[in-house]
Amino acid sequence: MSSKTDVSPVMVVHGGAGVHSTVLLDHFTKEEIHEGVKSSAKAGYSKLLSGGSAVDAVEAAVMYMEEEHIFNAGEQLFLGLRLGFRSVMSLCECVSESVTQNCKL
C-alpha cells in the first residue's frame, strides 16, 4: 500500500564560517548579513517553486551571493593571490548531482 505525502521544498543557505564570518562583522551589520543570506535563500527557493531542479536552486542562491559582495562567493582565486600563492588554481566549489555525479561549475 502506498500513500501520497506532500513534500515542501526547503532551501538552506549559510553566509560563511570561520575567519570570514568575523571579518564580515567589521564591515557590515548583522542585519545586512542576515538580509543577504535570506535573499539568497529566497532566490533559490523561488527557483524551486517555479519548477527548477535542486541544482538550479543552488545556482540561483550562489549567483545571488556572488553579486551581493557581502559574501566572498566566487572570490577564492583572489584570496589565494592575496595570500601569496602563485600559479596555483584549484576548484573551490562545484555543485554535484547525486545521480550522475557530474560536477557543475
Give the H or E element holding residue 95: strand 95-96
- Quickly tell me which residue has 551581493 as its cell: 68
pLDDT reported for residue 79: 46
Please work out, in degrees rounded to the nearest 5, the angle formed at the alpha carbon of residue 55 by the alpha carbons of 20 and 58.
30
CB 64 within 8 A of CB 45: no
End-to-end CA distance of the chain: 41
Return the domain boundaries, the chain: 19-104
CA 61 to CA 6: how far, in whole Å?
A: 24
Instruction: Indicate yes or no: pTM above 0.75.
Output: no
Contacts of 76 (CB under 8 A, 6+ apart): 92, 93
Query: pLDDT tens track of the chain, all 105 residues?
Result: 556 677 788 889 887 766 666 777 788 888 988 999 999 999 999 999 999 988 899 889 988 988 887 876 665 544 444 445 555 555 556 677 777 777 766
